[in-house]
């Protein structure tokens, strides 16, 4: 089965750049999206098709995908960005797959 | 405003059955693929199943194949998940999610642009 691997946690100081990675075999050949989930809330789509931002998502959120790694970048991280982040991809053999999630701490 | 409201969760014994519902509003339900995604308490997200606009295509994660059935009623703008032979490991919040589309075609990667609040299923004796 296809697997996506994320670091369990990432820490960043306010105003600095946070980088969250998502790794999978030949992930660059698939489209990746990212979700933000705050405690007690439903997930929110922040990036789709590797680097596209849905309307309403701040410009500080950006994405990239190449080789075996997709990356979510939050430029100028704010306290409100503290949340769990999940990557997701779709594979023909296993359909939809999520990464294990990364807890972003802004302090 | 897009709204997805799940219902039907609760406590059920191992081996039992439960039917989840998701009432959709604020968009043309029949134009979208829909999915169920679950999250065990304190754990990550897991895709469960999805269904095409007209119900002609369905897919499931391996762990629920043969036990869960996804269906929809476009006239009622509703999505369903019939869960049979429930196991302790099925305990989770179950979210209804809309698949993003471009003129009826799901976007590559099947991103979910709207989610419900979830309904909790607990499988325990």
Taking only the tens place, the pLDDT of each residue in A63-106 is 999 999 999 999 999 999 999 999 999 877 768 999 999 999 99
Task: Please indicate whether, in this complex, the C-beta atoms of B44 and A32 are within 8 angstroms of each other.
Answer: no
**Environment class of residue A21 by beta-carbon count within 10 Å: exposed (0-12), middle (13-18) or buried (19+)?**
middle
The per-residue pLDDT for range B97-112, each reduced to its tens digit, is: 999 988 888 888 889 9
**At residue A39, what are phi and psi to the nearest 5 degrees?**
-50, 130
Task: Please indicate whether, in this complex, the C-beta atoms of B111 and A96 are within 8 angstroms of each other.
Answer: no
Q: Kindly report the average pLDDT of chain B as a whole number.
A: 96
> Best interface-test mutation with A: which of B45, B62, B120 has the largest number of A CBs within 10 A?
B45
Task: Please indicate whether, in this complex, the C-beta atoms of B118 and A32 are within 8 angstroms of each other.
Answer: no
CA atoms of B86 and A31, how far apart (whole Å):
32
- Computed on alpha carbons and rounded to an integer, the radius of gyration of chain A in Å comes to 13
Mean pLDDT of B3-10: 98
Mean pLDDT of A5-19: 98
B44 touches chain A (CB under 8 A): yes
B74 touches chain A (CB under 8 A): no
pLDDT at B104: 81
CA atoms of B109 and A31, how far apart (whole Å):
5
Using the predicted structure, report yes or no on whether residue A6 has a pLDDT greater than 90.
yes
A33 touches chain B (CB under 8 A): yes
Name the residue of chain B whose CA is nearest to A85's CA: B44
- Computed on alpha carbons and rounded to an integer, the radius of gyration of chain B in Å comes to 14
Chain A residues close to B107, C-beta within 8 Å: 31, 48-49
CB atoms within 10 A of CB A97: 21
B82 touches chain A (CB under 8 A): no
Using the predicted structure, report yes or no on whether residue A1 has a pLDDT greater than 90.
no
Q: Residues in chain B, how many?
A: 125
Cβ atoms of B82 and B71 closer than 8 Å: yes
A98 touches chain B (CB under 8 A): yes
B115 touches chain A (CB under 8 A): yes
Chain B residues close to A45, C-beta within 8 Å: 100, 111-113
Mean pLDDT of A32-37: 97
The per-residue pLDDT for range B52-83, each reduced to its tens digit, is: 999 999 999 999 999 999 999 999 999 999 99
The DSSP secondary-structure symbol of A41 reads S
């Amino acid at each position: 089965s296809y697997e996506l691997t994320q670091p369990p946690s990432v820490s960043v100081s306010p105003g600095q750049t946070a980088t969250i990675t998502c790794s999978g075999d030949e992930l660059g050949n698939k489209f990746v999206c990212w979700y933000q989930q705050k405690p007690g809330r439903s997930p929110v789509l922040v990036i789709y098709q590797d680097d596209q931002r849905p309307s309403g998502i701040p410009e500080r959120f950006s994405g990239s995908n190449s080789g075996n790694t997709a990356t979510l970048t939050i430029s100028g991280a704010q306290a409100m960005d503290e949340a769990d982040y999940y990557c997701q991809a779709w594979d023909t053999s296993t359909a939809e797959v999520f990464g294990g999630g990364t807890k972003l701490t802004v302090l | 405003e897009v709204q997805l409201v799940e219902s039907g969760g609760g406590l059920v014994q191992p081996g039992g059955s439960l039917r989840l519902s998701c009432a959709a509003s604020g968009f043309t339900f029949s134009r979208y693929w829909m999915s169920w995604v679950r999250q065990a308490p304190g754990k990550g997200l897991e895709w469960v199943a999805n269904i095409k606009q007209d119900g002609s295509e369905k897919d499931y994660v391996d762990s629920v194949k043969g036990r869960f059935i996804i269906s929809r009623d476009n006239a009622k703008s509703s999505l369903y998940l019939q869960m049979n032979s429930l196991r302790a490991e099925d305990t989770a919040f179950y979210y209804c999610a809309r698949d993003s589309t471009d003129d009826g075609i799901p976007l590559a990667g099947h991103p979910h642009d709207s989610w419900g609040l979830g309904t909790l299923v607990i499988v325990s004796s």
